[in-house]
Structure formats: C-alpha cells, structure tokens
Amino acid sequence: MVITLDMSSIASDATMRRALTSLSTTVAKSKRVVVVTGAGISCSSGIPDFRSSDGLYAFVKAKYPDVVMKGRDLFDAALFRDPTSTALFYTFMAELKASIDLASPSPTHHFIKTLDTKGKLLRSYTQNIDGLEARVGLACTSSEDAKSPGRGNSKIKVKGIKNIQLHGDIHRVRCMLCAAETKCDAQHLQLFREGTPPDCQECKTRSEERRARSARALKIGTLRPAIVLYDESHPLGDDIGTIQTSDLKRKPDLLIIMGTSLKVHGLRKLVKEFTRVVHEHKSESGKVIFVNKTPPATEWDSIFDYYVSGDTDTWVSKVLEDWKKSRPQDWEIQKTLFAGGATEQKLMVVKRSATTGTKAKLHKNNNSNAENIPPSPLPFAGESLPTPPVSPSKRKSNNDPVECSPSKKRGGVLRPTVPASERGALFTIKKTVSVTELVSKMDKPILRTSSKEELDDVF
C-alpha cells in the first residue's frame, strides 16, 4: 500500500506536513541510500524536454523537412540503418549537447551529492545523459578517472564510482568500429551539427602505424555520441552488473526514486531488485520513496512505501530543512569545514568527527560537552609538533623521514623513533595525530561520523 504525500498541500494540511517531516527523518537516519533518477530531476536545470514535439526536435525537423521521425525514433538504434536519419540524429545530438552545456545542476543533483558527502550514498543510478551529476562532483561511469588502467575484463574502476549512467553520457563520443571513447570536443560538435560523424583518431593512428611498417591500411571508424539507444546494450554492461550485485549485497536501507516514470524495462527490474533488499530491513528504515509529478502505475502499489507527489527540488529542500533541524550535529561539522578553508580548520574537523557519533565512547575521558566547544587552533604545518605515534600500516603515507626509504629522507628533518609503548593511541591522546597523516587523509570523505566502518575509512 503506497502512502501518498502531496507537496502542494503542505502549507494548508498539518497532518501532511507532519508526515513529510517524518519521512525527512527517515532519510536523515538512513545509512546506505540508493538513488534512481530520470529526466524529471533535470527539468529545473534548463535541459529541454527533447522528446516532446516542440523545442529542439522542431528545430531539427525544420532542418530535415523530408525525414519522418518521431521523438522516440531519435533514440532507437534502428536510425543508423538510414544515412539521412543518421545525419538528423547527429544534428539533434549536437543541439542537445549545446543546450546541456548551458544548463546548471538542480537542487536535486546537489542533494544527491550531499547524501554522498554525509557518507549515506551507496550509489546513484541515472537514466540521464546530461552528466550533471559529474558537475556536482560525483564520480561517474563515463569520467576519465573511472577508466580501468589494466587489461582485465573490467573496463572501469568499479570502486569509487558513485553515479552510474545507465544510458551513457552525451559529453563523450565512441568509435563505432573500435569502441574507443573520448571527450566530445568543439570540433566533434561542429561536425555533428552538420550531420557528419568525425573520424576516430585511435583508428587513424593504428592505421598510420601499419602503413609506416608497409602493412595494409586499416578501416577507420566514425565517432558517435556515447549514449545508449533503445535496443542497444551498454558498453559497460558487465561492470554495471558487477556494481549492482555488490550494492545489493551491501543491503541498502533506503531507495529513493526521483523524476522518472519507470517505463524502461531494465530500470524497472533494477528498482524491483533493490526494493527486495531494502524491504528486508525490519527497522523503521527500509523504505522505498517515489518522488514524481506523475503518480506511479498500480503495479508499484506493493513496491513503493511512499509516493511524494510534486517537484523533486521542492521535496529535497524540505528534506534538507527538516534534516538540519532534527540532526544539527550532522551539519555543524560541515559549517566548520567550509567556514575555515584552511588546512588547520580541516584538521579540527577530522578530530571533531571522531568525537561525535557512535564512536564517542572512544573518548570517554573527554569532557562530555567537548563537542559544543569551539576547537582550539592546531599549530600550522610548519610549526613544531609533538612526535606522532604511527601505526606500522600508516608509515608509508606518513613519509616519516625515519621510517621511509633513503630517497625520501633527503631534505627531510630527522625525528626520533617513537617507542612502541606509545603507539596505537590515535584516539585517546589528542595531540599525537600527525599533521602529515591527517592531511593525507583529507582526500578521503571525512564527514562520515555515524559508524565504525566510516571512522575506519578515515583513520
């Protein structure tokens, strides 16, 4: 049975308001959230509704008056069978990319990033090809950093990717022959606009190398936008399957579906699989929330717990507002982080994050009010610090001139070796954590204060 909560009656209906506040608390308390999104979350970003008959589609139709194509046909792999529809597709995609380049991430994109920053986002799965998740700082399947350097079966580094682009990315191009992928640059875009696909540089280079050896030249492939059309399989399908299996095993405790009508078969399957593991949680978490302007079909009655009727941006604003009120400690840390900007401030955040949350017992000797007292400044990195005790596993990253290799010692200042008896006290003696070590951890998400595993990530 789906409970419907209407965002539009929030001002006049106190019961509705309370129910929505309670739902916000569920989000705030969750630990491993899976988010599934569709075109609805990019509406307020200025992305045109490219499937409707006006706007971009009409513009392209005017350019190709003799071609009869419906909006859906523009996303069907069958279009490559005909040179004219292929040219129209390229022109359309060039115009679409140009519009997307002018768009900005919506509050909903920022909300997904906030879930990540707070250590709650297990994964975001999106149908969108606009790449706006990358713009808010979420590592995406198509990002350059995600490419797997090895020659194994995996094409991407599965670890660290937060946003799965189920339908590809319009900011990338892929060779139709050798499948090499690269960023879509201004030159590519100009050729697409004219309806002509650019040649693949990888194919060209390989062919030239062969000709230099007096071997036969190779065929050169052409580039197309690296998006996934209907009736096409995703080039990263195996890797995405691996990620999804791993996410299911980690038993997410909340599933949020936003801005999609769930018409694509693969996505429906994904939502149902995640729902199964989310509902295995017997606590107050373990909920499935659907946020969309259009209500879900009846087949979802036994799947969704809540249907929030309305705009996703409005709902996420309400969630954030309630979350800040109900769990101010989650936000106090972030204020410190952004207010400071300097490394020393960030160091204090790391220390404070260790004193809040469920690991507070590690500091039982500390004053219980300590977390409400503004942190005293740490010395600057250049000033002398007490010698830190360093666990053996951390010595490498610590660059300790005593412990590290001879090459690293050059230019370093020698410090005495720490007696073994003084090691292993990272959490109990405040001033024994080295600046170097803490700084080396700053690259990792540090605002995870709610569980042991999260603290273990930091230290």
Please give the annotated binding residues for Zn(2+), written as ranges: 175, 178, 200, 203
Contact yes or no for 174/167 (Cβ under 8 A): no
What distance separates the 2 farthest-apart alpha carbons in the chain?
83
* Dihedral angle sign, alpha carbons of residues 228, 233, 239, 242: positive
Residues in the chain: 459
> What is the Cα–Cα distance from 53 to 235, expressed in whole angstroms?
30
169 vs 202, which CB is nearer to Zn ion?
202
212 vs 413, which CB is nearer to Zn ion?
212
- With DSSP H G I counted as helix, E B as strand and the rest as coil, what are the percentages for the chain, rounded to 5? 45, 10, 40
> What is the phi/psi pair of residue 219, to 5°?
-70, 145
- Output DSSP code: residue 122: E
Question: What is the residue type of 253?
Answer: D
121 vs 200, which CB is nearer to Zn ion?
200
Contact yes or no for 157/147 (Cβ under 8 A): yes
| Known active-site residue 167 | yes
Smallest separation, CB 180 to Zn ion (Å): 5
95 vs 181, which CB is nearer to Zn ion?
181
Q: How many CA atoms lie within 13 A of 338 on its CB side?
A: 5
Q: Which of 167, 171, 188, 363 is catalytic?
A: 167
Smallest separation, CB 222 to Zn ion (Å): 8
Note the helical H segments in 3-142: 14-29, 56-63, 83-102, 107-117, 132-135
200 vs 226, which CB is nearer to Zn ion?
200
